[in-house]
Amino acid sequence: MKEGEYQQLKDVTPNMSGLLLYLRRENGGPVREVKSYQSEKHGRELHEMSDGLTYALNDAGQWSILLDQS
């Protein structure tokens, strides 16, 4: 990705390294994974990050933010 180009969350490589790199760029500093767990409600692995948001890969293999992880 060239400097000055904008990348959307859905276009990030579908692995933890890709998500961490994206979040570091978006937040202007390091972001770490606080907790990951399998959600029965969502039927997928959820990743709680130090930016206060929870991320998961959707059925298309794209990252998304989950607003209701309970």
* Residue boundaries of the structural domains of the chain: 9-66
Global pTM reads 0.87
Give the whole-angstrom CA distance, residue 40 versus residue 25.
31
Q: What percentage of residues in the chain have a pLDDT greater than 90? A: 84
Give the whole-angstrom CA distance, residue 7 versus residue 5.
7
User: Is the pLDDT reported for residue 43 higher than 60?
Assistant: yes
| Among 62, 65, 54, CA closest to 18 | 62
Q: What is the pLDDT of residues 15-35, one digit of tens each?
A: 999 999 999 999 999 999 999
